[in-house]
Structure 1
Amino acid sequence: MKISQILELEDISLAEPVFSDLIYQEMDELITGSPGMAGKILVDEDDNPAVFAKKDESGVWTGCVTLFREPTLALIDFFEQFDLEIYQEDNETISDAVKEHYSHRLSDLTLPGADDLNPVRVKGIDNLLLKTVGTEKGTTCLDCCCGTGVGFMVMESLGMRPLAYDNDESLISRGFLSGRLKPSRTMWIDGRMINRFIKNKASLACGFMVGEIHSFNAPIWQEIISAACMASEKVLFTTGTEPEIKQVRTWVNDTGKKADIFESDADPIYDRWVCYTE
């Protein structure tokens, strides 16, 4: 479902330039900085405001999304001038609609990266999930650093409800083009910020072929891994080398989870080493 459909509009633009901007309160100024003629507010099932929309003098509707941040007092005061129409929808439906909006914007503006999928890897990831953490059917599962979406595709085929995120827009764009990623379930964000973009903990977080991990980028990877651990009940990460997976295990254990590692023969390159929690 589109944001415009929820608000019973033919069309609406969102003021925040990219999805990752949605956590910043200063984005409210993009709405309050110019006059409006009418307003609508979309709230979630807990009556928390998720989208503020205004109509300008030319009849164009623009919204700002407060689903992942608290609205400023200036934004609330600005909308008190209108005889507001209030709409309500559940949080997940609104979140998926917002993700779809920005995913289509990303696709329109980003050249897709190369299609690097080895078909053999699909079966390997499928077997790996069944061997370790199981399928978690019907539950929300994170695809951390999703790339072009091979993990998302496999998790979905096993009956999970994957939610993907990555910081490389070209890979995400390729994932959309190939059909492996769904626009309504994908976010272009810094993985260290995942906990700002989800309401409840996921059942499982997976990161397939994280890295390469070197001394110069290890602090960043530690934050990404730690954030995924905090955002989920169980985790599964794969790397190409044994030193990398040992480092990942240390980071996972540092978050209070108990992790095991083993070498897999399913994929000698991408997912050779595995770290997972029961």
Structure 2
Amino acid sequence: MNIAETLELETITLVEPLFSDLIYQEMDDLMTETSGKSGKILVDEEESPVLFAKSDENGFWTGCITMFREPSLALINLFEQFEWDMYQEDRETICDAIREYYSVRLCNTVIPGPDDLNPTRAKSIEALLKRTVGSQSDEICIDCCCGTGVGSLVLKKQGMHPLAYDNDESLLVRGIIEKRLIPERTMWIDGRMIHRFMKEKASLVCGFMIGEIHPFNAHIWQEIITAACRVSERALFTAGTEPEIRQIEEWMRDTGKKGEIFESDADPIYDRWVCYSE
């Protein structure tokens, strides 16, 4: 079910330009700078408002998402000026609908990156998951820095329910086109901000072929990896070199996770070095 259908509308336009903008309360200004004729408010199962929608005099509906931020006083005051209807849906269903909305927008506006999938890599990741994670049917997991989605492809095959994100929009579009990434489970965000988009911890975070880690970008990778570890119970990261994986293991320890490092012979280039933490 998409956002419009949830509110019994044919179409709706969200004022936030990007999915990553949903955490910023300033986005409410794009909603409150114009008046409204009538409104709809969507709440989750805890009756917290997650979406405000208003129509103008021409019947054009716009909405803003407050699922990942507190609604501003100005937004609340705006909706007190006209009549509105309330709708309710569970949070996970709403999240999926919002992610799908922005994934579709992304695919309509961004040129896809190259298809870089080596078919043999999917098999090596599958073997790695069986060796470490095992069977985790229906578990929610995170595909950190997912690229074009080879990790999500294998995680789904293993019966898990991946939530993928990356900061490279062209790779995400390629992954969606190739159906390795699911639109409603994909986010274009800065990985350092993943905690802002997670209400509960995932059972597992996977980061396949993290890197390349250099002195000039190590602080960024540290923030990405520690952020992912803090929103997950367990962690599995791979890298191309031993120094990189040992750096990752150190960052994992900073979050209270004790990782086991080993070398994998399944792929001599990708995912060669592995760190897994229960």
Normalising by structure 1, report the TM-score: 0.99
Partner of 1:65: 65
Residue 184 (structure 1) aligned with residue 184 (structure 2):
yes
Partner of 1:164: 164
Runs of 4+ in structure 1 displaced over 6 angstroms?
Answer: none
Cα distance in 1 between the residues matched to 2:143 and 2:136: 13
Partner of 1:196: 196
Residue 5 (structure 1) aligned with residue 8 (structure 2):
no
Residue 24 (structure 1) aligned with residue 33 (structure 2):
no
SS of structure 2 residue aligned to 1:102: helix
Cα distance in 2 between the residues matched to 1:21 and 1:173: 19
Partner of 2:104: 104
> CA RMSD of the aligned region, Å?
0.6
Cα distance in 2 between the residues matched to 1:81 and 1:137: 48
C-alpha contact 1:53 1:61 (8 A) present in aligned 2:
yes
Partner of 1:214: 214
Partner of 2:270: 270
Cα distance in 2 between the residues matched to 1:84 and 1:90: 20
**Offset of residue 139 of structure 1:** 1.2
SS of structure 1 residue aligned to 2:93: helix
Partner of 2:139: 139
Please give the residue correspondences for 1:110-129 in structure 2 after superposition, counting only pairs within 5 Å: 110-129=110-129
Cα distance in 2 between the residues matched to 1:135 and 1:204: 12
C-alpha contact 1:53 1:64 (8 A) present in aligned 2:
yes
Cα distance in 2 between the residues matched to 1:270 and 1:49: 44
Letter in 2 for 1:131: R
**Offset of residue 135 of structure 1:** 3.0
Structure 2 residue runs without a partner (length 5+): none
C-alpha contact 1:38 1:56 (8 A) present in aligned 2:
yes
Letter in 2 for 1:75: L
Deviation readout 1:189-231 (Å, 9 max, x if unpaired): 0000001001100000000000000000000000000000001
C-alpha contact 2:35 2:78 (8 A) present in aligned 1:
no
Cα distance in 1 between the residues matched to 2:79 and 2:268: 57
Which has the higher mean CA deviation after the structures are superposed, 218-227 or 132-141? 132-141
Structure 1 residue runs without a partner (length 5+): none
Cα distance in 1 between the residues matched to 2:135 and 2:235: 12
**Offset of residue 82 of structure 1:** 1.8
Letter in 2 for 1:104: V
Residue 83 (structure 1) aligned with residue 114 (structure 2):
no
* Identity across matched positions, percent: 66
Cα distance in 2 between the residues matched to 1:277 and 1:135: 16
Matched positions, count: 278
Letter in 1 for 2:124: G
Letter in 1 for 2:179: G
Deviation readout 1:223-266 (Å, 9 max, x if unpaired): 00000000100000000000000000000011111111000001
